């Protein structure tokens, strides 16, 4: 009978020409070797350097710690690992390691932030999705902090190749006292997945905020309710935001639904802003680039979109802006930015009756529907192109004066134009840097297409006439 794996077998030493080696001695050794092989199986080191390294790794399921609160039922307390509510959450996180912390239903009074700085990636889970319309959550974390801080703080968590993302789901966060941001992602926060979270109450900055160096984070249906001054303050790179909403009961002076600061290579899908003084502040004190907005909606805000400084390469796909109320500012303002493309954005009539205004370069609006009295307008130095707005295109006949011979005339009408030239004695027609090869004698006519923002130059000895038709 073998000793291994229940015990370790010891063998007495044998001396040549002194001790007799019996078959039993050899067979015992063979049995122990076979027992070891049976226990370890084939290739026991796997992909590790040796068996010892593999055996040193943690085994079994990750730890799951359950936290409830003093007002919970006796059954809930019996099922929980921690029963003191808010004060126990950090202890449970420390004990869970890379495992899971489950919070029962009820209100957890928190006097200290929940600190996930430098912690292994784990799952912090509440009990059921919050009721966003009624501002209620089955699992509610109520923060009345002793000193100013961020109620939920994430930083220095897992990077690529580590155990996985930090997951936070199905909780409500209420700010009561000394709360800066409801959730804050620090400079080294990455691979965080935040889902079905309601944030409301009093915060000195934002419901959700992320550092410019945070990256690869995902927000799914994270809502802020009547959080001022900012619902969301977005920074970082490679992030995705799906169905985030900033909703207020009334418009508060200085409030912003989404403030984009130092955001890069990120996508917002179906965000919704309701009743903010400014729905989107894109670029003030930060900037952004390579941002995509898909189906964004703005309703009942004083101002819609304000692109304002160091913003590059932003694309809209669909979406709508309803009922902005600013007396003079356009619903969509492009200022100090470039390469902004809006496809199919609907802008309803508003108090100022201005839909789009640009004082920037390379602004393209295609297939939009601008219903203001002044659908599109721009500063003289700006470049904006409008195509396929059924209420704006075509523009019809336009009547600029013919410039002097060889003097370029810029198409500054924001639409592509077909230009019909007649009569005179014309020796050359150029569109931009392209010489068309067309000439014109008295009584003849020709037409050329001049794209928006492009120039036309006519060389003539006898002045022709022209008619512009805006497409």
Are 312 and 381 found together in one domain?
yes
Residues 6+ apart with CB under 8 A from 42: none
Tens-digit pLDDT profile for residues 389-410: 999 999 999 999 999 999 999 9
Residue 412 belongs to some domain of the structure: yes
303: CATH: 2.160.20.10
Q: How confident is the model at residue 1 (pLDDT cuts 50, 70, 90)?
A: low
In b/e form, how buried is each residue of 152-164, taking b as 16+ CB within 10 angstroms?
bbbbebbeeeeee
Q: Which of 360, 349, 403, 420 is nearest to 385 (CA)?
A: 360
Helices (H), 323-457: none
Span 89-95, average pLDDT: 93
Tens-digit pLDDT profile for residues 197-227: 999 999 999 999 999 999 999 999 999 999 9
Whether 285 shows a pLDDT value over 70: the answer reads yes
Are 313 and 442 found together in one domain?
no
HSE of 101, CA atoms in CB hemisphere, 13 A: 28
Distances (CA, A) of 450 to 358, 361, 385, 412, 466: 21, 18, 12, 10, 13
Q: How far apart are CA 407 and CA 196, in angstroms?
A: 61
Are 225 and 295 found together in one domain?
yes
Q: Is the dihedral of CA 379, 381, 382, 388 positive or negative?
A: positive
434: CATH: 2.60.120
Q: Which helix (DSSP H) or strand (DSSP E) does residue 276 occupy?
A: none
Span 146-171, average pLDDT: 78
Determine the structural domain holding residue 246 and report its residue range. 64-387
Residue 286 belongs to some domain of the structure: yes
**pTM recorded for the entire structure:** 0.84
Are 78 and 32 found together in one domain?
no
Give the total number of structural domains in the chain: 3
Residue 55 belongs to some domain of the structure: no
Position 286 scores a pLDDT of 77
Q: How far apart are CA 136 and CA 5, in angstroms?
A: 56
Residue 54 belongs to some domain of the structure: no
Residue 58 belongs to some domain of the structure: no
Are 248 and 280 found together in one domain?
yes
Residue 337 belongs to some domain of the structure: yes
Residue 51 belongs to some domain of the structure: no
Residue 59 belongs to some domain of the structure: no
Give Cα 82 distance to the centre of its chain.
Answer: 35
Domain end among 387, 409, 431: 387
Are 290 and 268 found together in one domain?
yes
Are 232 and 359 found together in one domain?
yes
Q: What burial class does residue 52 get, using C-beta atoms within 10 Å of its C-beta: 0-12 exposed, 13-18 middle, 19+ buried?
A: exposed
Are 30 and 122 found together in one domain?
no
- In the block, tokens 């899908």 appear at 269
Are 117 and 24 found together in one domain?
no
Domain end among 387, 422, 452: 387
Domain end among 356, 387, 418: 387
Cα–Cα–Cα angle for 378, 381, 387, rounded to 5 degrees: 45
Are 38 and 97 found together in one domain?
no
Are 383 and 400 found together in one domain?
no
Are 210 and 247 found together in one domain?
yes
């Amino acid at each position: 009978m073998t000793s291994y794996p229940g015990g370790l077998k010891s063998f007495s030493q044998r001396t040549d020409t002194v001790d007799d080696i019996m078959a039993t001695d050899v067979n015992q050794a063979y049995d122990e070797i076979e027992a070891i092989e049976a226990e370890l199986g084939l290739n026991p080191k796997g992909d590790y350097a040796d068996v010892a390294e593999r055996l040193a790794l943690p085994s079994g399921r990750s730890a799951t710690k359950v936290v409830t609160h003093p007002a919970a039922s006796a059954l809930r307390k019996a099922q929980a690992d921690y029963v003191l509510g808010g004060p126990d959450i950090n202890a449970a996180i420390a004990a869970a390691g890379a495992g899971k912390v489950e919070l029962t239903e009820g209100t957890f009074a928190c006097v200290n932030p929940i600190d996930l700085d430098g912690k292994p990636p784990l799952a912090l889970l509440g009990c059921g999705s919050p009721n966003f319309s009624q501002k209620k959550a089955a699992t509610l974390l109520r923060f009345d902090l002793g000193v100013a801080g961020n109620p939920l703080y994430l930083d220095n968590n897992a990077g690529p190749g580590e155990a996985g993302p930090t997951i936070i789901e199905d909780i409500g966060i209420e700010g009561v006292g000394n709360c800066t941001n409801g959730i804050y992602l620090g400079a080294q926060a990455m691979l965080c997945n935040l889902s079905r979270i309601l944030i409301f109450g009093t915060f000195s900055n934002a419901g959700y905020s992320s550092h410019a160096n945070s990256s690869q984070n995902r927000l799914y249906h994270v809502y802020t309710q009547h959080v001022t001054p900012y619902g969301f303050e977005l920074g970082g790179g490679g992030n995705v935001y799906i169905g985030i909403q900033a909703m207020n009961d009334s418009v508060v002076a200085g409030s912003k639904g989404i403030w984009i600061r130092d955001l890069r290579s990120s996508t917002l899908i179906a965000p919704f802003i309701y009743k903010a003084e400014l729905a989107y502040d894109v670029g003030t004190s930060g900037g952004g680039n390579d941002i995509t907005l898909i189906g964004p909606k703005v309703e009942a805000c004083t101002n819609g979109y304000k692109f304002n400084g160091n913003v590059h390469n932003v694309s809209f796909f669909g979406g709508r802006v309803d009922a902005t109320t600013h007396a003079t500012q356009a619903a969509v303002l492009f200022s100090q930015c470039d390469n902004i493309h809006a496809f199919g954005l609907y802008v309803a009539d508003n108090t100022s009756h201005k839909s789009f205004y640009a004082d920037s370069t390379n602004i393209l609006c295609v297939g939009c529907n601008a219903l203001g009295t002044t659908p599109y307008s721009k500063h003289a130095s700006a470049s904006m192109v409008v195509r396929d707005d059924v209420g704006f295109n075509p523009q019809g006949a336009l009547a600029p004066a013919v410039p002097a011979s060889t003097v370029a005339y810029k198409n500054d009408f924001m639409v592509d134009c077909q230009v019909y030239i007649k009569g005179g004695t014309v020796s050359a027609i150029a569109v931009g840097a392209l010489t068309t090869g067309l000439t014109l004698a008295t009584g003849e006519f020709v037409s050329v297409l001049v794209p928006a923002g492009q120039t036309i130059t006519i060389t003539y000895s006898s002045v022709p006439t022209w008619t512009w038709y805006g497409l």
